[in-house]
């Protein structure tokens, strides 16, 4: 039999295991079976387990408390049980069920992968015999395909296996229909959709069919070139720049700012049909000039509407391509025929739609849809109106990469929003559309789960005697705010009330910008007994050096970072603190504990190990890359953090050209020190006590 490599050690050195215990023991038992270990004695299996678990794992095993006679440490099963009890944290069923209910099918995720994920999440939910029914209900509620939901709701006495088979059939049918539809409509789409350029208001070349004509840059005619002495514009004065030699329509100078002449629809003078719609914008948001010519250069000729067939939630719909509309629109008639199962929501406040003539458009509501065109897929918000054309606005033109080809119509955008993502509002910040599937990581800040498989046990110097400190009295005006903060932390599972403790520390209260209070525990006496972890924090130069050549940055910030790391029960008495409401202790890692930074940095690096384009310093995570490379790196980082159950807050920033990180401003142009002016212009210290920090800073 070929040699089998042993599984990696579960815990080789002090710290947090790199993989959960259940995952590691499964790998070990597979190795044991493959190497013929089923024939080994219980003592030999136990010896192999301790050998593979690592040096630190063996040390922990030897320090475990004595167990009842029914469980013997000298047998393999007994050793597995005590290690499992130690390394597997207690499960909060309520939080696990919430995480299960929040799991929605991601865009492009197959039903098999989705069901596998639900089964994994249900293991800790204690559903019992109701597991299959809960998974079935979750598929119906959170499926990404409305057709699947409609079809499953039509079934009576629906079982899980039947729901999965039905969903798979619909998925396969939609893929085949899409492939057939793309092959039939690709040629038609390329003929009907014309080229959109952003060269300003100076068309120099006009294409008619496959023939290319040169355009006079003085008058715009295709019958001669600019050097022709008979050009009518040679001695004419431009109304825009006041220079001689060209007409205003061909002026290359910066256009004079206008306040009202904004184009809302791509059309010609003789075009008919219902008006287009737009979101009213300020002059700085978008200024468009449209020039419509026929093949002979005459203005005002009849022009076809620019139409495009796209798949909206799997339904083919023909839309008018409108570069003057900031949003995409469907009429009530089309919505009633094809999307009646979609739930309309109220239009967000501040968004108003008006026609080209500035008349208010009645909007019934809006809904989110997945739109596909050829091999491209994007999500956007469709607004449903009483009547009018079905419009494909700039939001989809950009994300689907639609090019407008041909000479019958030319559109020149003088300024345009270059955002490639349709933002999703999540809390107080904007979440890019391509990571919208991770919005559960930012929602519901009232629940703060712990990071999966991670626990911190503080190593203590036994020679240091515990110290019981007295209560520090607070002003009466502050006590109510402190009581509210204590209740909030207790409801989130961060702290718990206790009766007594060997270690007792006082608290220090500070105010936040919001007016609330922050409770800090003075752990200076406790830290004298704490043996800090030797894991080093990264140097700033090393982190900044990795960010070179990056163009886009995203900054992730963990919500109450330390409070997401579970504190071992044996270490909790160290964090006991006294307040006017009684004695409390932390169930999670708290600020002020000297061992926390190194342990937290080690945990973050182990979670992000193997990923490219990411650096972290404690709870500050930077994702970087070039354009699409950055987006892919961000998706991988969020996927990894989500798998550990990490929660992020609304301080996160996405798709930034520059960010502030560790006192430096980082951009594609380089790295510079932030806020150095205040230090350079600060007054010279007059006293030795004040001079010391300055001396240490400059040294």
- Count of domains forming the chain: 4
What pLDDT score does 459 carry? 92
Read off the pLDDT band of 410 (50, 70, 90). very low
Quickly tell me which residue has 């807050």 as its tokens: 649
In a domain, 185, yes or no: yes
Which among 87, 109, 132 is the end of a domain? 87
- What does the pLDDT read at residue 525? 93
| Per-residue confidence band for 248, with pLDDT thresholds at 50, 70 and 90 | confident
Mean pLDDT check: name the lowest of 40-54, 164-178, 290-304.
290-304
Do residues 163 and 269 share a domain?
Answer: no
Count CB atoms within 10 A of the CB of residue 440: 16
Question: Are the CB atoms for 478 and 685 separated by under 8 Å?
Answer: no
Residue 572 domain flag: yes
* Pairing mode, strands 495-498 and 582-586: antiparallel
The residues facing 321 across adjacent strands are 392
More confident residue, 608 or 440: 608
Position 430 in a domain:
no
**pLDDT tier at 536 (50, 70, 90 boundaries)?**
confident
CA gap 82, 90 in Å, rounded: 14
Confidence category of residue 486, pLDDT binned at 50, 70, 90: very high
Same domain, 602 and 531: yes
Range of lowest pLDDT (102-111, 127-136, 688-697):
688-697
The domain containing residue 45 runs over which residues? Answer: 21-87
* Statement: residue 144 has pLDDT above 80: yes
Question: Taking a C-beta distance cutoff of 8 angstroms, is the pair 620, 649 a contact?
Answer: no
Distance CA 180, CA 162 (A): 27
List Cα–Cα distances, 614 to 252, 400, 453, 600, 633, in angstroms: 44, 28, 22, 16, 7
The answer to whether the beta carbons of residues 151 and 119 sit under 8 Å apart is no
Q: What is the pTM of this model?
A: 0.41
Specify if 431 maps to a domain: no
Distance CA 634, CA 615 (A): 12
Report, as an integer, the average pLDDT of 510-522: 84
Q: Is 348 in the same domain as 468?
A: no
Residue 567 pLDDT greater than 90, yes or no: yes
Contact yes or no for 343/281 (Cβ under 8 A): no
> What is the arithmetic mean of pLDDT over 623-634?
86
693 in a structural domain: no
β partners of residue 377:
372
Contacts of 61 (CB under 8 A, 6+ apart): 50, 53, 79, 82, 83
200-233: per-residue pLDDT in tens? 444 454 444 445 567 888 888 888 888 888 888 8
Of 543, 548, 550, 547, which is closest to residue 627 (Cα–Cα)?
550
Burial zone of 465 (CB within 10 Å; 0-12 exposed, 13-18 middle, 19+ buried)? exposed
Q: For the domain that residue 213 is a member of, what is the CATH number?
A: 2.40.70.10
More confident residue, 88 or 255: 88
Task: Choose the most confident range, by mean pLDDT, from 35-49, 345-359, 441-455, 515-529.
Answer: 515-529
pLDDT at residue 131 is higher than 70: yes
Give the single-character DSSP code of 636.
H
CATH number at residue 650: 3.10.10.10
Give the separation between CA 14 and CA 352, rounded to whole angstroms: 59
pLDDT band, very low/low/confident/very high, at 498 (cuts 50, 70, 90):
very high
Please tell me the predicted confidence (pLDDT) of residue 425: 43
Name the residue with tokens 């004065």.
237
What is the reported pLDDT for 191? 45
In which band, very low, low, confident or very high, does the pLDDT at 274 lie, cut at 50, 70 and 90? very low
**How much is the mean pLDDT over the chain?**
76
Residue 644, token pair as written in the block: 């550990």
Q: Is it the case that residue 135 has pLDDT exceeding 90?
A: yes
Tokens of 93: 């069923």
By three-state DSSP, how is residue 618 classified?
A: coil
Domain boundary (137, 160, 192) is at 192
More confident residue, 266 or 631: 631
Residues 242 and 382 in one domain: yes
Tell me, yes or no, whether 691 lies in a domain.
no
Same domain membership, residue 539 and residue 666: yes
Do 533 and 556 lie in a common domain?
yes
One domain, residues 514 and 636: yes
Beta bridge partners, 315, equal 312
The pLDDT assigned to 222 comes to 83
Specify whether 650 is located in the same domain as 630: yes
Asked whether residue 81 falls in the same domain as residue 104, the answer is: no
CATH of the domain at 170: 1.10.1200
pLDDT for res 272? 37
pLDDT tens-digit series, residues 327-361:
889 988 888 888 877 778 777 766 777 776 667 78
- Domain identity same for 167 and 177: yes
pLDDT band of 52, cuts 50, 70, 90: confident
Is residue 450 situated within a structural domain?
Answer: no
**Residue reference for tokens 């922990």:** 60
pLDDT higher than 70, residue 161: yes
| Domain match, 134 and 67 both | no
The answer to whether position 350 is within a domain reads yes
Q: Specify whether the CB–CB gap between 61 and 9 falls below 8 A.
A: no
User: CA 585 to CA 496: how far, in whole Å?
Assistant: 6
151 and 31 in a single domain? The answer is: no
């Amino acid at each position: 039999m070929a040699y089998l490599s042993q599984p990696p050690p579960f815990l080789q050195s002090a710290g947090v295991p790199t993989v959960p215990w259940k995952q590691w023991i499964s790998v070990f038992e597979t190795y044991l079976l493959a190497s013929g270990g089923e024939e080994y004695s219980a003592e030999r299996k136990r010896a192999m387990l301790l050998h593979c678990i690592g040096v630190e794992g063996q040390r922990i095993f030897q320090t475990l408390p004595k167990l009842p006679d029914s469980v013997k440490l000298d047998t393999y099963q007994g050793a597995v049980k005590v290690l499992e009890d130690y390394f597997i944290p207690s499960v909060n069923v309520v939080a696990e069920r919430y995480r299960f209910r929040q799991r929605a099918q991601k865009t492009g995720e197959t039903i098999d992968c989705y069901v596998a994920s639900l089964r994994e999440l249900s293991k800790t939910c204690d559903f019992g015999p109701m597991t299959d029914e809960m998974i079935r209900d979750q598929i119906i509620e959170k499926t990404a395909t409305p057709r699947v939901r409609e079809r499953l709701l039509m079934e009576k006495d629906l079982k899980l296996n039947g729901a999965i088979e039905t969903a798979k059939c619909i998925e396969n049918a939609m893929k085949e229909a899409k492939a057939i539809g793309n092959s039939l409509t690709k040629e038609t789409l390329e003929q009907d959709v014309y080229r959109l350029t952003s060269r300003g208001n100076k068309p120099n070349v006009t294409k008619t069919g496959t023939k290319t004509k040169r355009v006079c840059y003085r008058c715009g005619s295709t019958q001669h070139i600019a050097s022709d002495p008979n050009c009518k514009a040679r001695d004419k004065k431009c109304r825009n720049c006041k220079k001689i030699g060209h007409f205003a329509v061909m002026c290359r100078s910066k256009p004079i700012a206008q306040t009202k002449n904004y184009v809302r629809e791509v059309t010609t003078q003789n075009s008919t049909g219902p008006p287009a719609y737009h979101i009213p914008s300020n002059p700085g948001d978008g200024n468009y000039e449209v020039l419509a010519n026929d093949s002979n250069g005459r203005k005002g000729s009849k022009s076809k509407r620019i139409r495009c067939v796209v798949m909206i939630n799997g339904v083919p719909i023909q839309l008018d391509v409108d570069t003057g509309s900031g949003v995409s629109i469907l009429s009530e008639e089309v919505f009633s025929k094809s999307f009646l199962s979609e739930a309309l929501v109220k239009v967000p406040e501040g968004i108003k739609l008006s026609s080209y003539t500035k008349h208010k458009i009645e909007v019934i509501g809006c809904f989110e849809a997945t739109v596909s065109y050829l091999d491209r897929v994007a999500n956007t918000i469709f607004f449903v109106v009483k009547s009018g054309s079905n419009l494909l606005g700039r939001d989809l033109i950009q994300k689907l990469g639609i090019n407008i080809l041909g000479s019958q119509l030319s559109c020149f955008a003088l300024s345009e929003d270059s955002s490639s993502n349709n933002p999703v509002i999540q809390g107080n910040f904007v979440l890019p559309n391509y990571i919208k599937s991770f919005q559960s990581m930012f929602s519901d800040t009232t629940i703060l789960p712990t990071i999966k498989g991670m626990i911190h046990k503080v190593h203590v110097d036994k020679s240091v005697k515990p110290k019981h400190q007295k209560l520090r009295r607070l002003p009466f005006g502050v006590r109510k705010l402190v009581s509210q903060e204590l209740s909030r932390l207790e409801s989130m599972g961060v702290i718990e009330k206790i009766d007594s403790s060997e270690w007792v520390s006082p608290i220090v209260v500070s105010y936040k910008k919001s007016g609330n209070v922050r409770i800090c525990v003075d752990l200076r006496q406790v830290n004298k007994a704490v043996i800090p972890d030797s894991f080093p924090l990264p140097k700033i130069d090393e982190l900044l050096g990795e960010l070179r050549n990056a163009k886009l940055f995203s900054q992730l910030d963990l919500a109450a970072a330390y409070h997401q790391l579970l504190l071992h029960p044996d270490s909790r008495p160290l964090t006991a603190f006294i307040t006017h409401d009684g004695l409390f202790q932390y169930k999670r890692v708290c600020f002020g504990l000297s061992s926390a930074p190194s342990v937290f940095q080690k945990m973050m690096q182990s979670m992000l190990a193997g990923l490219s384009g990411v650096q972290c310093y404690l709870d500050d995570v930077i994702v970087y890359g070039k354009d699409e490379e950055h987006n892919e790196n961000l998706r991988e980082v969020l996927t990894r953090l989500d798998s550990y159950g990490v929660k992020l807050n609304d301080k996160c920033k996405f798709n930034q050209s520059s960010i502030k990180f560790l006192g430096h401003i980082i951009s594609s142009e380089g790295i510079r020190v932030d806020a150095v002016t205040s230090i350079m212009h600060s007054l010279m210290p007059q006293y030795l006590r004040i001079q010391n920090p300055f001396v240490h800073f400059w040294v």
